Amino acid sequence: MQHSLPRSATHEVIFHYILTGRHPPYFGINRLEVVTCAVGQFMDQDMQVIAMNQPGPLIAAAIYVNSGRNRNQKSLYSFTAFSSFFNVRWPGGETYPAAAYISWYIALAFVNGRAMSDVFSIPLLGWLKDSSSPAQLVILRKDNHGAVEEMVVGTSALQPTSPPLGYAASTPDDVIAWLNQERTGAFCICPSDCGAELIFILKLRRKYVWVMLRTVGRSVQPEDIDMQTEFETLTDNLFSRVSPDTIEYDKPLKEALERLPNPLAPQGTLPVLRVLASFPTQPPLSRNAAQRAKGGPVAVLKNDTFQTVTESSPREDLIEALISSMHNHRLPYANHAFSPIKIGPASEPRKGKRKGSAEEPQKALEHDSSKARTLSDRLIRSIPRHLSPPSPQNLDAKPGPSSNVATDAVEEASSLPPPPNPKRVKKERNIPSKGSNIAKASTSSADIPRRQSPRNAKPQIDGSKELSLTPPDAVPLRRSPREHKPKKSGGT
């Protein structure tokens, strides 16, 4: 175990077991060195497939690596050792997959809530509104009825026997299924043909930030990294940019990103935070470079926080978690640990109702109805007792300037059809009118005046007498039919 390649493979397998509860994809013959160091074994008769899935050798190697005096070279949580593994290349060109180790660090960093600006260097913070607010790592999944549930990753989720926090996706379909909350895990460790190596979710003020992380700058100077090109890889065509044969996954991936619940991201952009990471030197990201990166907010992983958090973690928990994973002692997720979420904008108090809200039409309808009832009552009280109440369709009629109640009633009666029951129709009676002969009018209940005088109107019969709205000689509606002669006025 003195060579860097076997130690790099041991480090990789240990943290993949801790995060996912299972062995990473088997190695090829180019990692023969792990067999010669008695850590790995051949899995086929042709001796072309190598694995490190034997509990005894792997646990012994983990204890050896984790208990050395020189922590910079042998410790599992050494930032210096991890950085050296990150830049190692195997004979076939393979590199150290850092997704599992970075996931373990992210879980430690956000276990008790931490500001995103402490973990990521984000030049453009306007979309976060408050970069100092603590964010939490969460798991989203769908229940049996399709409702989305969440679980906040707390301290208990980091115990050696707790359920694995990572989901190892082996195909593009697995990545899309995880984005659709159909696979359980706080982290999605993506396959090699995906532009992102790691995807996880942070909760900030009742909204979610999907983070896509990609490692860059292996054996390259930080200033030589093409940041613009690397950020463009983390778009809605994660697969076709890496492998053109996977272009058929672009559409379902885009649809999955559009359906992400309650995303916190600028309007009209990809609802994810795109993050680049490099070790041991943090890649530079200026404000101008961030503005040129189209497609959504961008950031880089802060290496100083990375080193502080990883090197302060207890080493005993790693060995116990490895043993529990290799012996299948990790517990499943408990259903009571998840709670349903409300899909849609966060329910925040508003100072006033938004124009065009759903409550305005109902309030307007109630106001109009109340106004109509008030107008109806006022008109009914102004009608003479010998006339019938007005119908609703005539409430809008307005009296003219020289309106006369009796004359208007005659005009209305002449235009209406005969009543349905002629036996109950009153006999004609004479109603005096200014400058006219005796008019005939029906006093049945079907007679509805088109217009009524206002309450204080004083219609004139002649220059000396006034007609009261409630004449004393008005004939009741139900009195026996007979003719009534109007009293002669002094002017006729």
* Backbone φ and ψ of 27, nearest 5°: -90, 165
Q: What is the pLDDT of residue 161?
A: 92
**Helices 250-258/172-179 angle, 10° precision:** 10
Cα–Cα distance measured from residue 318 to residue 316, given in angstroms and rounded to the nearest whole number = 5
Residues 6+ apart with CB under 8 A from 146: none
Cα–Cα distance measured from residue 135 to residue 102, given in angstroms and rounded to the nearest whole number = 17
pTM above 0.75, yes or no: no
Q: What is the pLDDT of residue 238?
A: 87
Q: Which is higher by pLDDT, 202 or 362?
A: 202
Instruction: Give the model confidence (pLDDT) of 281-313 as tens digits.
Output: 999 999 998 988 888 899 999 999 999 999 887
- State the CB neighbour count (10 A cutoff) for residue 247: 12
Burial class (CB in 10 A: 0-12, 13-18, 19+), 207: middle
Cα–Cα distance measured from residue 393 to residue 401, given in angstroms and rounded to the nearest whole number = 21
Q: Which is higher by pLDDT, 422 or 230?
A: 230
Q: What is the pLDDT of residue 247?
A: 83
Q: Is residue 419 over pLDDT 70? A: no
Cα 420 to Cα 338, 390, 414, 425, distances in angstroms: 71, 18, 15, 9
As a whole number, mean pLDDT of residues 216-244 equals: 85
Residue type for position 342: K
Q: What is the pLDDT of residue 107?
A: 96
Cα–Cα distance measured from residue 133 to residue 117, given in angstroms and rounded to the nearest whole number = 9
Q: What is the pLDDT of residue 312?
A: 83
Q: Is residue 15 over pLDDT 70? A: yes
Q: Is residue 428 over pLDDT 90? A: no
DSSP state letters, 187-232 = EEE--TTSS-SEEEEEEETTEEEEEEEEE--TTS-GGG--HHHHHH
As a whole number, mean pLDDT of residues 98-109 equals: 96
Instruction: Give the model confidence (pLDDT) of 246-268 as tens digits.
Output: 788 889 999 999 999 999 877 66
As a whole number, mean pLDDT of residues 182-204 equals: 95
Q: Is residue 323 over pLDDT 70? A: yes
**Helices 303-311/99-109 angle, 10° precision:** 80
Q: Is residue 478 over pLDDT 90? A: no
Nearest to 46 by CA among 26, 16, 17: 26
For residue 473, the 8-state DSSP code is T
Instruction: Give the model confidence (pLDDT) of 115-159 as tens digits.
Output: 999 999 999 887 887 778 899 999 999 999 999 999 999 999 999
Q: Which is higher by pLDDT, 433 or 254?
A: 254
Q: Which is higher by pLDDT, 249 or 358?
A: 249
Question: For 84-165, where are the E strands, in sequence order?
Answer: 114-115, 120-121, 134-142, 148-152
Residues 6+ apart with CB under 8 A from 234: 195, 196, 212, 214, 272, 274, 295
Q: Is residue 400 over pLDDT 50? A: no
- Cβ contact 220:230 at 8 Å: no
Cα–Cα distance measured from residue 202 to residue 124, given in angstroms and rounded to the nearest whole number = 18
Q: What is the pLDDT of residue 16?
A: 96
Residue type for position 33: E
Cα–Cα distance measured from residue 431 to residue 422, given in angstroms and rounded to the nearest whole number = 21
